[in-house]
Structure 1
Amino acid sequence: MKLVVVESPAKAKTIEKYLGGDYRVLASYGHVRDLPPKDGSVDPEDGFAMKWQNYGDKTKQLKAITDAAKEADELILATDPDREGEAISWHVQEVLQKRKALPARVERVAFNAITKAAVLDAIAHPRDLDHDLVDAYRARRALDYLVGFTLSPVLWRKLPGAKSAGRVQSVALKLVVEREREIEAFKPQEYWSIAAQMEQDGTEFTARLVRWRGDKIERLTIGSEGDAMSAKTEVETGLFKIVSVETKPLTRNPPPPFTTSTMQQEAARKLGFAASHTMRIAQQLYEDGAITYMRTDGVQMDGSAISAARGAIANRYDASYVPDQPRMYKTKAKNAQEAHEAIRPTDFSRDKVGGGDHARLYELVFKRALASQMASARLERTTVEMEEGTGQTALRATGQVVKFPGFMALYTEGRDDDGDDESKLLPMMSQGDAPAKKSVDAEQHFTQPPPRYSEASLVKKMEELGIGRPSTYASILQTLKTREYVRVDKNRFFPEESGRLVTSFLERFFERYVSYDFTAGLEEELDDISGGRAQWQEILKAFWQDFKPKTDEVMEQKPSDITAELDKFLEPLLFPEKEDGTDPRLCPRCEEGQLALRGGRFGAFIACANYPECKYTRQFGQRGGDQPDQGEDEVLGKYPETDQDIEFKTGRFGPYVEMGQGEGEKPKRASIPKDVARADVDLEMAIKLLSLPRIVGEHPETGKEIEAAIGRYGPYLRHDGKYAKLDTTEEVFEIGMNAAVVKIAEAKTKGGRGRGAREPLKILGKHPRTEEEIKLMDGRYGPYVTDGTTNATIPKTVDKDDLTLEEAAQLIDERAAKGPAKKKRKAPAKKKKAPAKKKPAAKKRPAANEES
């Protein structure tokens, strides 16, 4: 018997069908072991020796593989054809060797597509493990461990609120933070454009002012309304004749088939997919045999695939859409063994596969790959110049027409930021014509800051800088979201305060290690290892002998010294110069103390140096005088019953009202809800907020009180341990008994926050592997999915309304693999003393499964 080991059960099932009865195919379910997350897993003093630990949830799989290996004549390692796949094969071989279960014959096979032909061809051409790739994996894993386990403790101790730092994640975060700084520093400039609506032979077109008073018009030439109105008048009064008509042919070539990064970018642009979601769907399409391997830098296609694509084009269109010669694309990847074939369909006769997101991504891959072998598009661009009599003022109209669509009939590449492609068709015009002028418009514009990164543009930027590799892009972005260093709003990355602070800390104290050139250089050195051009321990040694002393140096500094250094480093951001020339650090409350960065239990904030006499604070990310003003701290009035002052204040977590500050007395506070404007926070509103929760009354059926209040997730009703959501703050103070009873009844029907049976928000369908029905539920701590046995929380970064069946199944599988949550044991109840004269009870014999 020959034992074949692959990563996933889906892949195992498919391959076993192709190989027949002499083979047994088992899945490892991904990596089987890793460096344990504790000190000492990598020992730099012992040649960077690594202590590996088997995953606890892989015990069952490893036992099955071990038992089968003991009976097998041959072991065939058939994991994915990249660095990670090579590593999994190496780990499996090492585990079997330690267990003395390794067959005498061990071979490594790799295939780029899970088709019968590809699998059988790979089995017929085995090779040895690629130890250069394994060494590159070990170097990468050791680097990530050493950075994480050396730098993260520095962050925890010196920077309150920080969670972790990573070799590549920190550099990706720096990109997001730097873009935000550019946006904040950006000063918009006013400019105007002048456009005339013209008509020729009944067809309207637009002509733009390109010369005025003899000067060429650049983007910012007309910078005021006065100049714009003057230019508009001169265009309105001028008689314009055509002085030239220029027509130029254009050729547009198709883009190459997808690499990992271009697939992630296009899926983000066209389908709205997160990089991690794209990779999950692509993995499943690969395992189903629909597409080739999805982690690749390569843009070339196999010769037989090119022939199949050309045949499919001829069948779909006509011979003019098939170029005379096949298109050949060159891969930029440094290492040939890592430059796999581009991502393409395994069968060009299948233009549709599956349903839902699987079908959408497959269609994108199919069209891109097919278009890459199609004829070029032929276009014609026409430029018409018009001048008035003196030649001092000129207008220009530009149009474009597609003469032959070529590949554009099937596919056009997406763009991150739409621009004016001037693709409108112009009427026939000749020199000397005087098109009729219908109207003239002067439009005001302002220059725009660079856009925040989307998933597509961030992956593209990382690729351009050489940061990360195809297999790591998705996980890097996901880590930034999971650590809550960034948030994603309308598919754009915004840095959170914690992310900005961590980046500033690393730039100030570890500048070299978050530089783009250093990170890209390290990636190249890892590529050199996998190409056999460098020795992995030497690369690690060179890194460690500089990095370790630097971390030791920073660790020796006091947290207060670190904060003082960051205060200086961040001065342009936190305390920008004011237009009136006043001191940007002057406290706005006491007007005496100086503002400075402070570190607290929950992170950094800005505070007055005159504390405790002055208790002014503001949030870390709030620039002095640049953010929306919440208003000065002020006394709103006195509480009628106690005659205590009620004050409006702004703190680290936003605006709030406060009452009572006597000696030994804890002040009562209430946050200002987001839907309440500062202007509406008067004494009456403050008293209302401070008096919460409000008793609406007793429920007519239970006799128990109904409360209205405002919590962490907004306004709500509470009755008998169950909750109902309210829509606005106003409802908290105005809702009556009848409406409250209805809200609670509706929440109970929908499945509110109580412990009773809940109705699902949505039934997503049957689990693709277990056939159990998966439901989307609303829980007390947020939405979750369940198959009736396992509950899995939906991550904050995932919109519950966009959750697919496959994603839900993945969440449930991951949660199930972790095992049941550990419950805290209750302390045993204290035994009561037995009555003095009572005989002791006879001892019970221990049960068979109890330890004696």
Structure 2
Amino acid sequence: MHVVIVESPAKAKTINKYLGPDYHVLASYGHVRDLPAKDGSVLPDEDFSMSWEVDAKAQKRLSDIAKAVKDADRLILATDPDREGEAISWHVLQVLRDKKALKSQPVERVVFNAITKSSVLAAMANPRQIDAPLVDAYLARRALDYLVGFTLSPVLWRKLPGARSAGRVQSVALRLVCDRELEIETFVTQEYWSILVSLATPKGEVFEARLASIDGRKIGRLDVKTAEEARAIAEVLGAARLSVTSVESKPTRRNPYPPFTTSTLQQEASRKLGLPPARTMQIAQRLYEGVDIGGETAGIITYMRTDGVDVAPEAVAAIRAEIDKRHGPRYVPQAPRKYVTKAKNAQEAHEAIRPTDVSRHPADLARILDPEQAKLYELIWKRTVASQMESAEIERTTVDILADAGERRAELRATGSVVRFDGFLTLYQEGSDDEEDEEARRLPAMASGDPLTRKDVNTSQHFTEPPPRYTEATLIKKMEELGIGRPSTYSATLSVLRDREYVRLDRKRLVPEDKGRLVIAFLSSFFERYVEYDFTASLEEQLDRISAGELDWREVLRLFWKDFSHAVDEIKDLRVSQVLDALNDALGPHIFPPREDGTDPRACPSCGNGRLSLKVGKFGSFIGCSNYPECRYTRQITKPGEGEGTAESDGPKVLGTDPATGLEVSLRSGRFGVYVQLGEGEKPKRSSLPRGWEASTLDLEKALALLSLPREVGVHPETGAPITAGIGRYGPFIQHNGTYANLPSADEVFTVGINRAVALLAEKQEKGGRGRPGTAPGRTVGDHPTLGGAMVVRDGRYGPYVSLGKINATLPRGTDPATLTVEQAAALIDAKAEKSPAKPTRGKSTASKTAAADGEAPAKTAKPKAASKSSGGKASAAKPAGAKSASAKSASAKSAGAKKAPAKAKAGAAGGEAG
């Protein structure tokens, strides 16, 4: 019997069918061990020795694997064909050796780029040994991520209370978002005018031309700055004689795009399908692991974590045959196309993402796949086929026109294109761009010397706009261009930034939160080198050279740690006031924006002679007056008008007067968020804004409705007891005699009638429900495709989640519970089942078990002591519970190579990056 080890049970099930009864395929369920999130997991003073800890859930799986291997003739490690897959195989082998499960059995490593019978059998026939340089590159990356995260994060917590963590790649990605926001804030809008002339040829065909020059002066896009200047030019054009001076036509060719890599697939799926990168990778994983086609499970795309753009010769031949069959020989180029990646740190070992069998047309699989899978497969199929099609042939025409007004002369220019042969464009076009719009403009036939008739002269006012905020797709593209991080972990990095509340998604754009901007300002001020784009990219290049066997991984770590540990030691002795002074300067345009009256933006608006500065307190950072405690003016960091509501210390925003009581109704912001308040006094009536309600749109009517809760819906027809509706700790609900039933939205609290209320309560009683709201029966999504059993979406205390038996998986932020699909629910359940975090030790604080995208330290959960109140930014930093003295920490850093995390966490499932 031959034992084969793969990562996932779905992959194991499919491969077991291919190999037959002589093979026993087992799944490791991803990584089986990791660096413990505690002091000493990586020891720089011991040549970067690393201590590994087996995951609690993996213990049983490894025992099963060890038991099977003891009686096996051969062990075959068949994990994914990348750096991460190599690392999993290495970890499994090390554990089996530690368990003494291996005797004289041969150990082989096989890799396949597609889960098809032919690919798997070909791999089994060509085994190799574990690739030591690939493992070394994984070890170097994992150690780097650990050392940065667990050394830098405690410094961040001490100097900047309220911050969560810092990571090697995560911090640089955050800097990109924050730098773009600063560009937007400091952007100076310019007015400019465009001049467009509508003309007609002698045959009466109409077209448009733009101003190119006036009196010999070339006119660029921004050169006409005022309405007066535009009007004067329009008068010249209105009185001029117009004639064609030249017509130039140039044939050009547009070549197809290369097939997808991980990052380009994420970008294009976001643009065309509206899929977030993380969701794109989930769907691609399913397509790779296999779907049931005619009773046989097969992978329908190749491995989806790759930065290579090459395609296997046999696949290219099949693609060319498919093009000939569907489009004809004119669309097949004479020679196959060969692509080379342009990414700075790309590895060419893997194929691009492509269909495993190009003859499987998307229309044929649409009946088998769910809608999202079908759309993503179609995108991959079209891009792959188009990449081997003939170029499009386009004729670009430029017409120059003279406008002669006697003493003044101007030149106009008209451009257009004609697609002479569509080539690959018949199948695939990437996104939308101006070039394609230009191709749609076809100019009429003209010749030099032809007179033209003026139809109209249009002048239009415009204003320059700042660069747009990044979307997840455009940020991934930028990171790839700079050579930062690995494509396989980009989506995980973005998830960490959102989970840490460093950024938020607003209309699919990434907006930095104040917390994130403070972290980047701190790192840029005191650890500038380690958030530089070039430095991070060069480190990635060194990691790639390690994987190629060109560099020693420990030597790379030695050089990095020498400078990094020295930089940390220097910062430890800084006073918090020094840190805040640096942040005041770095964040000046954001936290102290220019005032309309031109006065000093840092002058205190309350006392007049104090100076505003950043402060740190129990609940994070804020803006305060230097004359504290005489002046108690404070405000949130967000500029007035940008946040949700107004800071309580800024004074409440008065919404109006309650007609029943005559008391003022105001909108305020406290430590737990935005709320409305009725009147003043010792215990005024208050109500928090429910989820989904925006402070910016709240009016008096809505505020009074909130303050009127709980509302009596009516009397129950059977019991005679009242039914009330309200918004509580767990969301909107109705209540009758201690039985609670959830309402789907806060708005329904004010409109629910007696009939619907009675029906909801009856349904809840049938399910055996009493007690607190938040335990509604939920919506059944469907049965789990592999584990079986119904998956149910519920609204819980901490938000919506999906459950299967005892497995509860929280829905990602922004996911709509009402539209959750079986595929999405199953993916969440599977991910939760694989993680299965161990229970925390009683009495000790625990950090999040969520893996950091680049090995960061876990978020601090031990409650800090409140910072002392101060003036002029001289606040003392909050000290983490259980923190060592500065001298003790210094010694620890030198001996152990890392700061002690305040709690135990799994900090690297996504830290070692694929490929």
Matched, 1:462 2:479: yes
Match of 2:314 among 297, 304, 313: 304
Q: Percent identity?
A: 53
Query: Secondary structure of the residue that 2:265 maps to in structure 1?
Result: helix
Judge conservation of contact 1:194–1:208 (CA < 8 Å) in 2: yes
Query: Secondary structure of the residue that 1:379 maps to in structure 2?
Result: strand
Query: Secondary structure of the residue that 1:270 maps to in structure 2?
Result: helix
Match of 1:374 among 386, 389, 396: 389
Number of aligned residue pairs: give it. Answer: 812
Matches within 5 A, 1:101-116: 101-104=101-104, 105-116=106-117
Query: Secondary structure of the residue that 2:349 maps to in structure 1?
Result: coil
Matched, 1:793 2:810: yes
Please list every run of 5 or more consecutive structure 1 residues that lacks an aligned counterpart in the other structure: 827-852
Matched, 1:445 2:455: no
Partner of 1:320: 330
Match of 1:349 among 355, 359, 364: 359
Partner of 1:831: none
Partner of 1:408: 425
Matched, 1:31 2:31: yes
Matches within 5 A, 1:276-291: 276-288=278-290, 289-291=299-301
Matched, 1:41 2:65: no
Judge conservation of contact 2:302–2:354 (CA < 8 Å) in 1: yes
Query: Secondary structure of the residue that 2:438 maps to in structure 1?
Result: coil
Partner of 1:232: 234
Partner of 2:651: 633
Partner of 1:130: 131
Match of 1:534 among 551, 561, 568: 551
Judge conservation of contact 2:247–2:397 (CA < 8 Å) in 1: yes
Structure 1 range deviating more: 364-373 or 347-356: 347-356
Describe the shift of the 1:227–1:477 C-alpha distance in structure 2 as closer, same or farther (beyond 3 A). same
Q: Note the C-alpha offset of 1:812.
A: 1.4
Query: Secondary structure of the residue that 2:570 maps to in structure 1?
Result: helix
Query: Secondary structure of the residue that 2:488 maps to in structure 1?
Result: coil
Alpha-carbon separation, structure 1, partners of 2:415 and 2:183: 33
RMSD of the TM alignment (CA)? Answer: 3.7
Matches within 5 A, 1:59-458: 59-104=59-104, 105-200=106-201, 201=203, 203-288=205-290, 289-331=299-341, 339-352=349-362, 353=365, 354-390=369-405, 392-414=409-431, 421=438, 423-458=440-475
Partner of 2:497: 480
Structure 1 range deviating more: 371-380 or 216-225: 216-225
Judge conservation of contact 1:334–1:527 (CA < 8 Å) in 2: no
Describe the shift of the 1:205–1:247 C-alpha distance in structure 2 as closer, same or farther (beyond 3 A). same
Q: Note the C-alpha offset of 1:640.
A: 12
Q: Note the C-alpha offset of 1:94.
A: 0.4
Structure 1 range deviating more: 437-446 or 355-364: 437-446
Judge conservation of contact 2:309–2:341 (CA < 8 Å) in 1: yes
Query: Secondary structure of the residue that 1:506 maps to in structure 2?
Result: helix
Describe the shift of the 1:642–1:404 C-alpha distance in structure 2 as closer, same or farther (beyond 3 A). closer
Q: Note the C-alpha offset of 1:163.
A: 1.2
Alpha-carbon separation, structure 2, partners of 1:651 and 1:189: 39
Alpha-carbon separation, structure 2, partners of 1:449 and 1:749: 56
Alpha-carbon separation, structure 2, partners of 1:174 and 1:108: 40
Matched, 1:812 2:829: yes
Alpha-carbon separation, structure 1, partners of 2:457 and 2:761: 61
| TM-score, with length taken from structure 2 | 0.81
Query: Secondary structure of the residue that 1:5 maps to in structure 2?
Result: strand
Whose RCO is larger (CA < 8 A, sep 6+)?
Answer: 2
Judge conservation of contact 1:335–1:530 (CA < 8 Å) in 2: no
Q: Note the C-alpha offset of 1:222.
A: 1.7
Q: Note the C-alpha offset of 1:55.
A: 1.2
Partner of 1:829: none
Deviations 1:283-325 (A, max 9, x none): 2222222122222221111111111111111111111111111
Write the letter of the residue equivalent to 2:376.
L
Describe the shift of the 1:639–1:629 C-alpha distance in structure 2 as closer, same or farther (beyond 3 A). closer
Query: Secondary structure of the residue that 2:212 maps to in structure 1?
Result: strand
Q: Note the C-alpha offset of 1:93.
A: 0.5
Write the letter of the residue equivalent to 2:130.
L
Judge conservation of contact 2:645–2:696 (CA < 8 Å) in 1: no
Query: Secondary structure of the residue that 1:582 maps to in structure 2?
Result: coil
Query: Secondary structure of the residue that 1:320 maps to in structure 2?
Result: helix
Query: Secondary structure of the residue that 2:830 maps to in structure 1?
Result: helix
Alpha-carbon separation, structure 1, partners of 2:695 and 2:345: 59
Alpha-carbon separation, structure 2, partners of 1:316 and 1:543: 55
Alpha-carbon separation, structure 2, partners of 1:679 and 1:317: 58
Alpha-carbon separation, structure 2, partners of 1:401 and 1:363: 28
Partner of 1:843: none
Write the letter of the residue equivalent to 2:119.
A
Q: Note the C-alpha offset of 1:255.
A: 1.4
Alpha-carbon separation, structure 1, partners of 2:387 and 2:394: 18
Alpha-carbon separation, structure 1, partners of 2:192 and 2:346: 51
Match of 2:622 among 591, 605, 608: 605
Q: Note the C-alpha offset of 1:815.
A: 2.6
Matches within 5 A, 1:709-788: 720=738, 721-724=740-743, 741=754, 744-745=757-758, 755=773, 758=776, 760=778, 764-779=781-796, 781-787=798-804
Write the letter of the residue equivalent to 2:651.
D
Q: Note the C-alpha offset of 1:514.
A: 0.9
Structure 1 range deviating more: 93-102 or 417-426: 417-426
Deviations 1:351-410 (A, max 9, x none): 224332222112111111111111111001112222233371233222111100111111
Alpha-carbon separation, structure 1, partners of 2:486 and 2:837: 35
Write the letter of the residue equivalent to 1:70.
K
Alpha-carbon separation, structure 1, partners of 2:345 and 2:663: 74
Query: Secondary structure of the residue that 2:412 maps to in structure 1?
Result: strand
Judge conservation of contact 1:633–1:647 (CA < 8 Å) in 2: no
Deviations 1:115-164 (A, max 9, x none): 22222222222111111111110111111111111112222222222111
Partner of 2:869: none
Describe the shift of the 1:668–1:549 C-alpha distance in structure 2 as closer, same or farther (beyond 3 A). farther
Alpha-carbon separation, structure 1, partners of 2:157 and 2:438: 50
Alpha-carbon separation, structure 1, partners of 2:723 and 2:435: 53
Write the letter of the residue equivalent to 1:55.
D
Write the letter of the residue equivalent to 2:52.
W
Partner of 1:840: none
Judge conservation of contact 1:595–1:608 (CA < 8 Å) in 2: yes
Alpha-carbon separation, structure 1, partners of 2:507 and 2:763: 28
Alpha-carbon separation, structure 2, partners of 1:628 and 1:108: 56
| TM-score, with length taken from structure 1 | 0.86
Q: Note the C-alpha offset of 1:237.
A: 4.2
Q: Note the C-alpha offset of 1:797.
A: 4.1
Judge conservation of contact 1:646–1:660 (CA < 8 Å) in 2: no
Query: Secondary structure of the residue that 2:38 maps to in structure 1?
Result: coil
Judge conservation of contact 1:82–1:338 (CA < 8 Å) in 2: no
Partner of 1:833: none
Write the letter of the residue equivalent to 2:397.
T
Name which one, 1 or 2, has greater alpha-carbon Rg. 1
Q: Note the C-alpha offset of 1:101.
A: 0.7
Judge conservation of contact 1:647–1:658 (CA < 8 Å) in 2: yes
Query: Secondary structure of the residue that 1:374 maps to in structure 2?
Result: coil
Structure 1 range deviating more: 217-226 or 238-247: 238-247
Judge conservation of contact 2:200–2:452 (CA < 8 Å) in 1: yes
Match of 2:527 among 510, 513, 526: 510
Judge conservation of contact 1:74–1:103 (CA < 8 Å) in 2: no
